[in-house]
Copies of this chain bind each other. A is one copy, B any other.
């Protein structure tokens, strides 16, 4: 685990925010100005591959990263893009998997809404 990787990982663990690679890059550079953008992307990829963090693909926006290791749904604001974690009621997706008759290796569930802040700003 290099200093660069540790730094990137620490930034993700430090807060529940679901940050983009660019945001992580900026935060990391405050500590280590020589850090290269490519290093951030590569290490994020490795952390994802090793199951230490999760990558969230966003619609028409850069991917975000989640410190939570377990699969879980997300609530996404359609206006500002903010992402919150949700708790999946136990076994919610079982009926779907059962109906399929074949194993599912993972899932991605996003619910869209307008967050309170944006709803207020729109009025």
Q: Please tell me if A6 contacts chain B, counting CB pairs below 8 Å.
A: no
Q: How large is the interface on A (under 10, 10 to 19, 20 to 34, 35 or more residues)?
A: 20 to 34
| Residues from chain B with Cβ under 8 Å of A57 in the complex | 57-60
Question: Who on chain B is nearest to A98 by CB?
Answer: B89
A92, B109: Cα distance in complex, Å: 12
Q: Is the CB of B111 within 8 A of A104?
A: yes
Given contacts A105-B112, A112-B104, contact A92 B89 (CB under 8 A): no
List A residues at the B interface (Cβ < 8 Å): 55, 57-60, 73, 75, 78, 86-89, 92-93, 95-97, 99-100, 102-114
Q: 6 A-B pairs, CB-CB below 8 angstroms?
A: A73-B96, A89-B99, A92-B93, A92-B96, A104-B113, A109-B110
